[in-house]
Amino acid sequence: MDTDPRALMLGLGWFPQTVGGLDRYYRALFEQLPGARGVVIGPAEDAPAAIEAVAGHTAPLARRMWAFWRAARRAAEQTDVVDAHFALYAAGPLLLGALRGRPTVFHFQGPWAQENVTARDGSRWRFAVRKALERRVLKAADAHLVLSGAFRRVLVEQYGIAPWGVHVWAPGVALDVFTPGDRSAARTRLGIEQDGFVAVCVRRLVPRMGIDGLLDAWAEIERDLPPGSVLLVVGDGPLAGELGERAALPPLQHSVRMLGRVSDEELIEVYRAADVAVVPTLAVEGFGLVVLEAAACGTPSVVTDVDGLRDAAAPLDPSLIVPPADAAALGVRLRSAARGALPPRAATREFAARYGWPQLAARHLELYRRLAAGERDRRLRVVYVDHVARLSGGEIAILRLLPHLEGVNAHVILGEEGLLAERLQQAGVSVEVLALNASTRDLRRDAVRLAGSAPAATLQTLAYSARLARRLRALRPDLVHTNSLKSGIYGGIAARAAGVPLVWHLRDRIAEDYLPRAGVRLMRAAIAGLADGVIANSDSTLQTLPARARERGLVIPDSVEVPPRRERAGPATVTFGMLGRIAPWKGQDLFLRAFAAAFPAGPERAVLVGEPMFGEHDYERGLHALVAQLGLEGRVEFRGFREDVWSELASLDVLVHASVIPEPFGQVVIEGMAAGLAVLAPDEGGPADLIVDGRTGRLFRSRDAGSLTAAMTALRSDPAERSRLGEAARGAAAGYHPRVLGARLERAYEDVLARR
């Protein structure tokens, strides 16, 4: 299409006659699209001629919907693409009118039905009707735009929308309108003392916005604040009277001002005067446009961890995020903000500058063009399946890799909630949770049998496979990629039932030193019968499969990005450490015995980072007892689970990997190499593939405490050798970048589909 497609924007109201983030967003986008036309519910006093305002918000619902439908029908002949923003009014034009079947974008800025519930509408039948209408309208759209990964997940999980056409685009901010200014002058104009701590909350005064909790927090801390400190509450709504009455009573009457609705000019003055903005939402927040508007004026926002607010605040400073409905935590963060613990105003403005409207409008136009031309996203649609959402080896590997797959439109289905879901969402990867029964999800691999040992788990697995198969039929992916042994079983059954090719990512050795004999037979049969392709994390892993399965296999190791060099923190003594899950086969006890033999006394320290995952707490308690038995109290530190692996590695001088069963890959080994550490690892399994002995690390005889003791002793006395090995390891790790390995994985997908 040589010219821009003609877009018809179906809105709710016209800002500022109608107040709300949706209406502000609609107007700002419309003004960036000179060729667009729009329909809204009136009034719209300063709207351009291209906006048709119909009926009025106080008119009966039937009249509003009829008028809206007629206006949309009149505009249909001059419309190439429909851009809808509110399900209720868009329903008639999209489902019944002349716009039915026209290429459509839907801006999903929140679950309308759920928002009415949080606004204290407890009617179940009204909720059901609204939800059904909303779902019908959403399914009529060809593409969906959301402001955050949290709302993409709402669309996928709660409304059944396929993730392939859901785009996460943060809102824009009018950087030429919301600008920094003289804080002192703004405070003078508002009658605020210069040395006070000033917080501002700009919200519609409805229950879900959490203003009550903010007043609770302010009441707790106001006595600790400098004289003249004040909380400014800007906005109107059903709770205005109730909140105003509370603000007029002790202890808030002298430090809280209810400003009501203000103009943009006045709002900018308020932001300039404030030290911090507060967004205390309890539920349903698409992104939080007010966070960007405040930031454009140089004012950072403390926000609750609700939906898109994390996406809005975390890139500036994660410490700005507090739990929702927790007045105590909010008070603590505001008290620290009053003491200066906030991002600088210049850095805050620089952060906001990433969100200009012109760039966002250009992305909209490009999407309109693709839809009008009938173009399809040519990337492969791949569903990734994993049974857990904990940050363990395979889960960290997939988290690192997916954002770098340029030719893949990825969607992840997890069997539980957890950190992996959060981190994938933050990385821009689509994710949903299809809950798997905990007893099946956490079944230990030594309990895997062909039959008889866990009949309940078998039945639950088959039932879950049927649920997953139904989901795959709805999603219609090009490929399913399972990321663990358990997900390989149920994901393989589901993929076969749905008629979708399967790639089984093999991260475990299928051998009797790793699985029971019956489990080995089961897994080999499942892989041979279900997998169209196998990705193994090491040659050692691949070789545990029978020849027929190996023919469909390819070795692609896990990836790592070499981090910036970090200065080692802590004491000058030499520190040896292990990172990873606390489990008998990981060999933490072997490490402690070797450390005690190498350094029975002295300043050397040992560190264990990790936690048990599948009922291995007895082993962890045994390690603590072993420390006492070996006389190592005070020299061994148990740090538990730590998400920031790079900070932990930076505190070590030597990384030890001591698995007593051959490790399939050894992700922590490649992480230690990337961190520039001297690494000690067993001479079998995946680590032996990663390390060139004597050049990029040292290998010791597996399961041999004496061999490990000798290697530790040698490195303790030779800092130059530790440095040489670390530098060489860091250089070798550069070849494991996720872009490099991601390209290999995409070629493997193409080969599988070609064979299929």
User: Where in the sequence is the domain holding 42, given as residue range(s)?
Assistant: 7-168
- Could you report the per-residue pLDDT of 425-471, keeping only the tens digit for each? 989 999 999 999 887 777 665 555 544 446 777 888 899 999 999 99
Q: In 586-674, where does DSSP find H-type helix?
A: 588-598, 617-629, 645-650, 667-674
Closest CA to 739 of 379, 407, 389: 407
Question: Which has more confidence, 570 or 108?
Answer: 108
State whether 433 and 550 are in the same domain: yes
In a domain, 570, yes or no: no
**pLDDT at residue number 452:** 42
pLDDT over 60 (residue 732): yes
State whether 164 and 190 are in the same domain: no
State whether 302 and 399 are in the same domain: no
- Could you report the per-residue pLDDT of 26-42, keeping only the tens digit for each? 999 999 999 999 999 99
Cα 147 from Cα 624, distance rounded (Å): 47
CB 325 within 8 A of CB 214: no
**pLDDT at residue number 122:** 78
State whether 388 and 514 are in the same domain: yes
**Mean pLDDT, to the nearest integer, of 480-500?**
96
SS (H, E, C) 134-191: HHHHHHCCCEEEECCHHHHHHHHHHHCCCHHHEEECCCCECCCCCCCCCHHHHHHHHC
Question: Which has more confidence, 426 or 405?
Answer: 405
**Domain end among 504, 525, 555:** 555
Closest CA to 489 of 478, 515, 473, 743: 515
Q: How far is CA 103 from CA 56, 82, 152, in A?
A: 28, 6, 20
Q: What count of residues does the chain have?
A: 756
State whether 285 and 388 are in the same domain: no
State whether 643 and 589 are in the same domain: yes
In a domain, 612, yes or no: yes
Which H helix or E strand runs over 322?
Answer: strand 321-322
In a domain, 334, yes or no: yes
State whether 544 and 655 are in the same domain: no
Number of domains in the chain: 4
**Mean pLDDT, to the nearest integer, of 216-240?**
95
**pLDDT at residue number 429:** 96
State whether 535 and 639 are in the same domain: no
CB 180 within 8 A of CB 272: yes
Which H helix or E strand runs over 655?
Answer: strand 654-656
pLDDT over 50 (residue 640): yes
**pLDDT at residue number 447:** 55
Q: What whole-number percentage of the chain has pLDDT above 90? A: 83
- Could you report the per-residue pLDDT of 229-270, keeping only the tens digit for each? 999 999 999 999 999 999 999 999 999 999 999 998 999 999
State whether 206 and 320 are in the same domain: yes
CATH of the domain at 263: 3.40.50.2000
pLDDT over 90 (residue 19): no
**Mean pLDDT, to the nearest integer, of 526-542?**
95
State whether 115 and 157 are in the same domain: yes
- Could you report the per-residue pLDDT of 659-705, keeping only the tens digit for each? 999 999 999 999 999 999 999 999 999 999 999 999 999 999 999 99
**pLDDT at residue number 2:** 62
Dig out the tokens for 257 from the structure: 């001002």
Q: What whole-number percentage of the chain has pLDDT above 70? A: 97
State whether 703 and 599 are in the same domain: yes
In a domain, 265, yes or no: yes
**pLDDT at residue number 451:** 43
State whether 551 and 593 are in the same domain: no
In a domain, 174, yes or no: no
**pLDDT at residue number 450:** 42
Cα 71 from Cα 75, distance rounded (Å): 7
How confident is the prediction for the chain on average, in pLDDT? 93
In a domain, 178, yes or no: no
- Could you report the per-residue pLDDT of 354-391, keeping only the tens digit for each? 999 999 999 999 999 999 999 989 999 999 999 999 98
Cα 393 from Cα 657, distance rounded (Å): 14
Report, in angstroms and rounded to the nearest whole number, the Rg of the chain calculated over CA atoms.
29
Closest CA to 466 of 495, 430, 501: 495
pTM, 2 dp: 0.87
pLDDT over 60 (residue 569): no
**Mean pLDDT, to the nearest integer, of 278-287?**
89
In a domain, 641, yes or no: yes
In a domain, 567, yes or no: no
